[in-house]
Structure 1
């Protein structure tokens, strides 16, 4: 096959879409609020009702805020599924959708973090749909344009950003799946014991 005939846009989308459709999405079905907020260690960072966090800093515009600190403590605190989904939804997807695909302008400070697992999954699916629709709209030529000043490395191409975002999604959402496994094998009530 001539490399010029390869549909790079489709190939880049499929890097994430295949993983989402065949490995990740079904693993998120049935995510409970207990799992969403669960921390296997004390003092983990999470999404919490406003005013209840003990983290050095909190951000968010709604009834729930996300924990963080600047500079980030060393070692970095453990983060819950709620925190990881918040990071993916806002920092990985929504800010990029705003910068590149006409999404609403957002930040960690202005986001209304989800107070339930089902709301977080709805937010995730909405932002994923905006992202993948935006990437599709780039076609082949749009992948070659520089990402511009809204990104830390403005000279990089959109194809570089797409690869980066897909790596972030696969990485963090795989962590969420691992935490679900840990919860299932750590919490007796999740296994149906003591009911």
Structure 2
């Protein structure tokens, strides 16, 4: 195959779509509210009812906020599944969907964070679908255009951004799956009874 014949858009999309369709989506099915909010360590960052957080920053436009700090402490606090999904939904996807594909503006400060696992998974599905629809519209010429001032690395191409977003999705949603495994193996005995 000649390089000029390669369908770059399909290749970029398949990096994420394969992982989403064959690994992540099934692993997220059945996420419970207890798992969503569970923290195996004290003082982890999460999504919480407004006014109940002790984090330096509580961002959000609805009844629930996400814990944050600027700058991020070192070491960074442990983050729950709720926090990780909030980060992926808003910071990784919704803000980029707004910046590049014309959806409503989205930010950590204005987002209405999910107060349960089912709503969070619905938000995630919606943002993933929007992202993939948008990426499908990118021609080779559009993939080569620098992203400009919308990103920390303005000289990076749109293809670079697509790869970055897909790495972020794979990274953070794999963490969510690992937390589900940890929850299962630390919160239940071998006969399925909760500890």
Measure how far apart 1:141 and its partner are. 1.7
Match of 2:152 in 1: 152
Q: Provide structure 1 residue ranges, at least 5 long, that are not aligned to the other structure.
A: none
SS at match of 2:137: helix
* TM-score, structure 2 normalization: 0.97
- Pairs within 5 Å for 1:87-126: 87-126=87-126
Shift of 1:191: 6.1
Q: 2:147 & 2:194 partners in 1: Cα distance? A: 54
- In the other structure, the counterpart of 1:76 is 76
Alpha-carbon RMSD across the aligned residues, in angstroms, is: 1.4
Q: What's 2:64 paired with?
A: 64
* 8 A Cα contact 1:85 1:120, kept in partner: yes
In the TM superposition, residue 189 of structure 1 has moved relative to its aligned partner by 6.9
State how far apart, in whole Å, the 2-side matches of 1:136 and 1:188 are. 43
Where structure 2 has 5 or more consecutive residues not aligned to the other structure, the ranges are none
| Counterpart contact for 2:187–2:194, Cα < 8 Å | no
Q: Using the TM superposition, give the Cα deviation of residue 190 of structure 1 relative to its aligned residue in structure 2, in angstroms.
A: 9.6
Q: Give the structure 1 partner of residue 11 of structure 2.
A: 11
Q: TM-score with structure 1 length normalisation?
A: 0.97
Deviates more, 1:20-29 or 1:184-193: 184-193
Q: Which residue matches 1:36?
A: 36
Q: Which is worse superposed, 183-192 or 23-32?
A: 183-192
